[in-house]
Structure 1
Amino acid sequence: MSIIVTPQNTGIDPAEYRKVFGALPTGVTAITGMTAAGKPMGFVVGTFMSLSLEPPLVTFCVDKGSSTWPTLRSLGRFTANILSTEQLPVSRALSRKGVDKFEGIDYEIGANGTPRIAGASAWIDCEVLSEVVAGDHYMIVGGVETMEATEREALLFRGGKFGDFNLWPAPAPTEKA
């Protein structure tokens, strides 16, 4: 089932929209799959998140103009690789267009047949369950099949810059007497 979400034109300036939401740190996640010909493919999103605990579901959004998503969608499976702070080069490689994005990226094949990128903070192997058309993006819902976490710090993106939790510490709470 596909639901189309098309809000009325609000007059919101796209540059202001990016500026406001750029203040919100997001995780950097590589969505990967393996083609029928055995070639790894993937792209990076900043919209990956947990959706439901029971049943375990995740979601992410991908631009409608993505040339990679239609192939991954047709395969029906993906791995969400939550990139670690050491993986900025991986993020940049998977964001390129028109080249072998996996050149120089170390990975292994997970239980669902999709690439798990070495050195990630976590891996979540999923089945594609649904897709919602939402403005200029698709919102994907995946059913979690297997997952694994490491102790590696997650790579974050905020205000056009990459970093980790240490770049944006929350102020210590003050105690009232």
Structure 2
Amino acid sequence: MLAEAFREVMAGVATPVSVITAVSADGVPHGTTVSAFASLSMDPPMVLVSLDRGSDLLALVRGTGRFGVNVLGSTQSALALSFARKGPDKFADVDWVPDSGLPRLPGAPGWLACDVESLVEGGDHVVAFGLVRAAATVDGQPLTYHSRVFGTHAALEVAP
């Protein structure tokens, strides 16, 4: 069946793991784990992220026109799992700091604060194109998802 074959092919693609965040009008932080995140443009700096059509976070991003991208590190797999679950209060017992008006997770090697440039429907997801307004990095290996398990990147030696 095509759906099963497609799922297997995609499981073989290593992806970065990120937590996308936003803040409601009453100041409550929200977030969700995604593996569909990529750089789109350097000039202007833009990224894209794919959000489930039925997610509460997508509704919040639509309403506020902003989102944060916390590119997780190899030591943050428990955080990724916590934000991947359904339901409210994903920030319970999670440290975070406001950065550019959005929830930033300390220790994440990459941080981007974005304004929504556009939203594009795509099957059961919506692709949010974000214009980057702030960016920061800290040292750390990335958290990746491949073959349905978390891992990290390892450099290969290049033959002469």
Classify the TM-score, shorter chain: over 0.9
Q: Distance in 2 between matches of 1:114 and 1:92?
A: 20
The question of whether the paired residues in 2 share the 8 Å contact of 1:35 and 1:72 is answered with no
Q: Which residue of 2 aligns with 1:45?
A: 34
Task: Flag as ranges the 4+ runs of structure 1 deviating above 4 A.
Answer: none
Q: Distance in 1 between matches of 2:52 and 2:23?
A: 20
Q: How many residues align?
A: 160
Normalised by the length of structure 2, the TM-score is 0.94
Q: CA deviation at 1:71?
A: 1.4
CA offset digits 1:19-68 (Å, max 9, x no partner): 11111100001110111111100111111111001111110111212122
Given candidates 138, 158, 161, the residue that maps to 2:126 is 138
Q: Secondary structure at the match of 1:59?
A: strand
Q: Distance in 2 between matches of 1:44 and 1:38?
A: 20
Amino acid at match of 1:87: Q
Question: Going by fraction, where is strand more abundant, 1 or 2?
Answer: 2
Q: Distance in 2 between matches of 1:76 and 1:25?
A: 29
Q: Which residue of 2 aligns with 1:4?
A: none
Normalised by the length of structure 1, the TM-score is 0.86
Q: Secondary structure at the match of 1:141?
A: strand
Q: Which residue of 2 aligns with 1:97?
A: 86
Q: Distance in 2 between matches of 1:99 and 1:129?
A: 27
Q: Which residue of 1 aligns with 2:106?
A: 118
Q: Secondary structure at the match of 2:85?
A: coil
Q: Percent identity?
A: 33
Q: Please, what is the CA RMSD of the aligned residues?
A: 1.3
Q: Which residue of 2 aligns with 1:6?
A: none
Q: Which residue of 2 aligns with 1:21?
A: 10
The structure having more radius of gyration, on CA atoms, is: 1
